[in-house]
Amino acid sequence: MTDKYYSPITWTVGPEDSGKQVRTVLERRLGVSRKLLSRLKLTEEGLTLNGGRVYTTALVEEGDELALRMEREQSDDILPQEMPLDIVYEDEYLLLVNKEAGVIVHPTHGHYTGTLANGIVHHWRQKGETVRFRPIHRLDQETSGLVAVAKNPYIHQQLSEQMQRGEIGKSYIAFVFGRPEPSAATIDAPIDRNPDDPHYRIVTPSGYRSVTHYQTLAVYGKEEASKVALQLETGRTHQIRVHMQHIGCALLGDKMYHPAVENQAELRERAEQLITRHCLHAAELSFTHPMTRQQMIFQARLPEDLRLLEHELRKLEQPAQQ
């Protein structure tokens, strides 16, 4: 086959599937969605049985080999742009990158260059790969940490479904004002847009179910600030920032979700001398690799600005020993 296609995805029919239709086997064994199956049917060499084109209603026998071939695509609407990338992992199916704070994931109106997508598309062009940019999830511009990108439609579909089923683990580290009480808990509070400002999210009974689990890792000074580990069960826009504000522990550096609290003014001023963004880092990402079926766990250490902040927070006056 030509390099017009990504590497084929194959499946050898077992005795339990003998006599079943092609589409039944592909849906059950490879989890191929009906949307992708329809797309493959329109591709010249998209779907083959023992090397020849086949209808999805055809019956298979034990030992038959099914193969899927997806046509290569590229992001013609994304300008390749050289930039430093901290690539944590890459194979022919997916890429994980540790995003710097301040970088937007995907081009938007007014931000056509300087995004993570521009840098990754350039990286692939330099490698001679024809790949379309398909992020599995996104991070806010100011949030640093791990972002996963699929390199073909099947991988994107599989990882997106893992995300929807809650099978992708996403762990974050945040530095917040005050001390969460209790020190570890689950925040189950629905979130939706603020009707007065669609860019701003709020906790509201009429919102979408939103669940965040947190654990306090360290408390600084006289409970002036804390370091918190968080795991997302749902993935609403600004979820961590909204939930931590909701329990009275807004993120340090968060200009949107930080209420004006008088006794936090000194710490806020001190933090602003060290950081220029909200203190949130996507530290760990785990999922099942769609091809190898292995459990993958990736970690990204705290970036320099948050390590410096943590060093300074440790200097805060410690509470008296009881």
By the 8 A CB rule, do 214 and 179 touch? no
Q: Which residues pair with 10 in a beta bridge?
A: 67
Q: Which one of 64, 140, 254, 305 is the catalytic residue? A: 140
E strand or H helix that includes residue 90: strand 87-90
Could you tell me the two tokens for 17?
A: 């599937």
Q: How many CA atoms lie within 13 A of 258 on its CB side?
A: 21
Cβ count near 146 (within 10 Å): 25
By the 8 A CB rule, do 143 and 134 touch? no
CB environment 67-93: b (16+ within 10 A), e (fewer):
bbbbbbeebeebebeeeebeebebeeb
* CA distances (Å), origin 25, targets 32, 41, 93, 178: 9, 15, 22, 54
By the 8 A CB rule, do 114 and 104 touch? yes
Cβ count near 44 (within 10 Å): 10
By the 8 A CB rule, do 234 and 259 touch? no
Q: Which residues pair with 194 in a beta bridge?
A: 197
By the 8 A CB rule, do 247 and 253 touch? no
Task: Clarify whether 140 is annotated catalytic.
Answer: yes
Q: For residue 149, which of 141, 138, 140 has the smallest C-alpha distance?
A: 138
Q: Crossing angle of helices 34-41/153-164, nearest 10°?
A: 170
Q: For residue 6, which of 42, 41, 45 has the smallest C-alpha distance?
A: 45
Q: From CA 6, how far away is CA 10, in angstroms rounded?
A: 12
Residues taking part in catalysis: 140
